[in-house]
Amino acid sequence: MAGNALVWVLWILAAFACLGSGIAVVSFGNPFYSALSLIGNLGSLAVLYLLASAEFLAAAQVLVYAGAVMVMFLFVIGYLGGRADVPFAGGPSWVSIAAVVAAAAILVEIVVVIGLKAGDALAAPAEIEAAFGSPAEIGRYFLTDHLLAFEITSIVLLVAAIGGVILGTRTRAEEELDEAGAPQTLDGWSPDARA
């Protein structure tokens, strides 16, 4: 009985840590702090995977996402420096309001789908197969049922990395203008740079 209570306490702590760090990711204005909060979110998600007896998935979560992907995010944030400012930091705009409305709609949709699909099944304990969370089972799902989503995710990460490098790259003309001390407008063009 004490072991079961400990599992519930750990689950509740990890769930609240996951929610709190997720809120911190989107509420911090500094992208570096948002990335650090995302590391906390991914770590608490790994704890939830461990409690669900998916040890391999928890290890992959820590190594791949909290490790490699977050190092890439922090590298891009450091590479961009002060140029990575939030585009709508001046207060609520229509984009911010639309994002909140869309998030609320998705939350309602998730609750409705879980309620309709689960029904009374949430009251009974789930039967977990022996292969649940094993590398073979995860690989089978990735390469059969969820292949398209897996490949789209890899393409999105690749595009994000390329976009970060493009945003951080400065042209030779911009560097020469900075060295010359010519006045610049927001897009980097100055009237004195006509050649």
Taking only the tens place, the pLDDT of each residue in 111-158 is 888 887 777 666 677 677 777 767 888 888 888 888 898 889 889 888
Short-list 50, 63, 44, CA closest to 133? 50
In terms of residues, how long is the chain? 195
pLDDT recorded at residue 99: 83
pLDDT recorded at residue 68: 79
Query: What is the C-alpha end-to-end distance of the chain, expressed in Å?
Result: 80
b/e map 8-27, b = 16+ CB within 10 Å: eeeeeebeebbeebbebbee
pLDDT recorded at residue 195: 47
The residues of the chain scoring below 70 in pLDDT are 1-3, 80-92, 120-123, 126, 133, 168, 170-195
Tokens representing 120? 């009374």
pLDDT recorded at residue 32: 81
Going along the chain from its start, the domains and CATH numbers come out as 1-86 (1.20.120.1200), 146-195 (no CATH)
pLDDT recorded at residue 87: 54
Q: Which residue has tokens 């979110």? A: 41
Signed CA dihedral, 50, 52, 57, 60: sign only = negative
pLDDT recorded at residue 106: 93
- Going from the C-alpha of 56 to that of each of 14, 127, 138, 143, 150, the distances in angstroms are 18, 19, 9, 17, 17
